[in-house]
Amino acid sequence: MHAQTKWCSWVVAILMLGSASIPQAAPLRVSGTGAVISTVRQLAEIHQKEHPELELRFITPPMGSSGSIKALTTDQLDLALTGRPLKKEEADKGLVQTWIGRSPFAFVVQRDSALSAITLVQAADLYAGRQTTWPDGSKARIILRPLQDADTTLLQSLSPKMHEAVKSAHQRRQPGSAMADSDLDLVEMVEKVPGAMGSVAMTLIIAEKRPLKGLTLDGVEPTVAALEQNRYAPFKPLYFVTRQETMPQLAGLIAFLGTDTGRTRMHALGLSTTHPMP
C-alpha cells in the first residue's frame, strides 16, 4: 500500500475509533525542530477556528528533533515536530510518527545579496575552504551546524564531495568560533553576518518572513513546485511524533492537513504534501 494511502487510512481509523469521544483536554505541549514551529503554529490556528477543542501550547525555545523526542519519553511534551524519522531505539519506547510533508532544503543568504545561484560543486569548494570569497570579492562566511545534527547529515548526503567538504569545515573550525546550534540560530546568524551563507528548510524563511533568500542550486530554484516535479532534490521532512495515547487528539488536525484547504496552505508556507520518489 502506498504511504499516502496508509496515512489517510490511519487518520480515518483514529477518527472512527476515538476522536469523537475525546473530551475537552488540556493543551498539548509542542516543540521540535525550529524549522517548522511557525509553520505548524499557523496551520493549527486555521484548523482551530472550526475546532477549538484542540489547543496546542508551543514550548520555546524549540528543543530540536532529538531533544523533543527525548522530552516525549519523559512526559515533558505531547507532540514533537521532527525533521527526521524515528530511530529504532526511539520507536521501541512506544513513540509513533506520522509523515506530514517536506520542505526544500536550501543554501540561504541575505535577501539583498547579489548572489542568487550556486552549484553543488561551488558549495563543496566553499565548505572545504578551496573558495573563500564571493564573485564580488567579498569574504564568504559559512555558518555551520553541529556535526551530528540532522541538517548536517542532510547536507553531507548531497554528494560524496559535499560529505568530505562539510567534514573538512568542522575540522578547520577554530575553537570558540560561532556555531549555529539550531535552525533559528542559523537564520539569525546569516541575517547578521556580512557575506554569510547557511542551509535550512525554506518553510522557515517563508513562514517567518525572514529577510533571506534561497539560492538556486544547479540552476533550479528551491520551491515546492520544483520539489514536487522532482527537479529540486534536497528536502527536509516533517513528522508528527507522539505517544500512542495522544494520537487521537491530533487526528482532526492531521486530517485537515490532507484537505484541499490544508494542502493549499501548506504549499504557501513552503511545505510539499507529496512523498519523495522511492
Say if CB 162 and CB 155 are below 8 A apart: yes
Q: Which residues contact 223 (CB under 8 A, 6 or more apart)?
A: 104, 202, 232
Helix (H, G, I), strand (E, B) or coil at 111: coil
Report d(CA 38, CA 36) in Å as an integer. Answer: 6
Decide if 166 contacts 72 (C-beta within 8 A): no
What's the pLDDT score for residue 6?
Answer: 46
* Mean pLDDT along residues 257-269: 95
pLDDT at 16 over 60: no
pLDDT at 3: 45
Report the alpha-carbon distance of residue 262 to residue 179 in Å, rounded: 35
122, amino acid identity: Q
Section 95-118 average pLDDT? 96
Grid cell digits, residue 244: 500512542
> What 3-state DSSP class applies to 16?
helix
Could you tell me the pLDDT band of residue 13, with boundaries at 50, 70 and 90? very low
> Quick one: pLDDT at residue 175?
79
- CB half-sphere exposure, 273, CA atoms < 13 A: 20
Could you tell me whether strands 196-201 and 141-142 are parallel, antiparallel, or unpaired per DSSP bridges?
Answer: parallel
- Paired residues of 217 in beta bridges: 118, 220
pLDDT tens digits for 145-162?
999 999 999 999 999 999
pLDDT at 9 over 70: no
Q: What pLDDT does residue 25 have?
A: 64
Q: How confident is the model at residue 278, as a pLDDT?
A: 58
Is residue 269 scored above 60 in pLDDT? yes
Percent share of the chain, pLDDT over 70: 90
Calculate mean pLDDT across residues 253-278.
91
Considering only CA atoms, which of 235, 197, 192, 225 is closest in space to residue 213? Answer: 197
Q: Give all domains of the chain, ordered by start, each with its CATH number.
A: 3-103+237-268 (3.40.190.10), 104-228 (3.40.190.10)
pLDDT of residue 228: 95
Q: Is the peptide bond before 23 cis (omega within 30 degrees of 0)?
A: no
Mind listing the pLDDT tens digit for each residue in 215-258?
999 999 999 999 999 999 999 999 999 998 888 889 999 999 99
pTM: 0.88
Average pLDDT over the chain reads 90
pLDDT at 58 over 90: yes
Q: What is the mean pLDDT of residues 105-123?
A: 97
According to the model, what pLDDT value does residue 277 have? Answer: 65
Q: Is the pLDDT of residue 211 over 90?
A: yes
Contact assessment for residue 46 and residue 39, using Cβ atoms and an 8 Å cutoff: no
Residue 7 confidence (pLDDT) above 80:
no
CA–CA distance, 44 with 47 (Å, rounded to integer): 5
pLDDT value of residue 21: 42
pLDDT at residue 225, as a whole number: 97
C-alpha cell recorded at residue 156: 553531507
Residue 4 has a pLDDT of 47
